[in-house]
Homo-oligomer: A and B are copies of this chain.
């Protein structure tokens, strides 16, 4: 699968501590999460301050870095501080740096990849990437967006998602995009915009999958301590798409196995929950597929009746 998005440095403060600078960015989290299921190929840009140890971490997880462009200047830097209950966060710094002129160029070797995940960047850029892919090889395309693009780039966003098989957004964004407060109504409106598969993430309350054949709800995994929720949504996306890519599932096919899509949502939830257990990407330094499958079984145990 191909992943497009930011590879960045983050400064994060939560009630559990403060880290001034650590590896972050949507494409980083997505690729690390997906790497437990498939071989992700990154498309992103970094500055000349991107550390060798961070390159090494990504490479150690089998992530293809051919599309990781290096240019003079500094990496995208974001800093934020979470509220005491960690349901809100305040952005303290957004330095786009080399990301300001990001013009994604896909290596030829990426163009026939069947799975494409467009991380949260300017919607027109997401479309530029999709247009570079070989349409006949492309099995599944989808991505993420955020309130800023929904508000200020609505027309571009609508053009972009019209060509997507799936969209992953949170509940507040779903309400903003659809203009509907009620999630059932919001989901119906968004599915008319293009994506026939919609995942609405609800933070600690889990996620809802919407499909033409019906919806599927999964509660959020209960953690004793949430250290740092940064990247959890991206890890959800990475687990979701990574699982589908690893299994070779084509969710846009009329005879797609609905249960495989539901399982992908569970794997997304599993990866999002692991992400919160340590600061930044730290949990992925030691995580194993065995732990992931163990937590998948926990989801089965605490939801079945």
Contact = CB atoms under 8 A, between A and B. Distances in A.
Interface of A: 85, 181-185, 202, 205-206, 208, 214-219, 222-225, 259, 262-263, 265-266, 300-305
Given A224-B185, A225-B182, A305 B215 contact: no
Contacts of A301: 214
Given A202-B205, A205-B202, A205-B205, A263 B222 contact: no
A300 B217 CA distance: 10
A216 B185 contact: no
A263 to B, nearest CB: 6
B263 A216 contact: no
Given A302-B214, A302-B215, A302-B217, A85 B266 contact: no
Contact of A216 (B202, B215, B225, B303): B303
Contacts of A223: 182, 184
Given A182-B225, A184-B223, A208-B222, 9 more contacts: A202-B205, A205-B219, A208-B219, A217-B222, A217-B302, A218-B303, A259-B305, A262-B305, A303-B304
17 contacts: A85-B181, A182-B223, A182-B225, A184-B222, A185-B224, A202-B205, A205-B206, A205-B219, A215-B222, A217-B222, A217-B302, A217-B303, A218-B305, A263-B305, A265-B305, A303-B304, A303-B305
A59 B292 CA distance: 54
Contacts of A222: 183-184, 208, 215, 217
Given A205-B205, A217-B219, A218-B219, A224 B182 contact: yes
A184 B298 CA distance: 15
A305 B266 contact: yes
Nearest to A301: B214
A216 B304 CA distance: 8
B305 A216 contact: yes
A245 B139 CA distance: 52
Contacts of A215: 222, 302
A265 B302 CA distance: 13
A300 B183 CA distance: 20
A305 B218 CA distance: 10
Contact of A302 (B182, B183, B216): B216
Nearest to A224: B184
Q: Which 3 A-B pairs have the closest CB atoms?
A: A217-B219, A262-B305, A205-B205
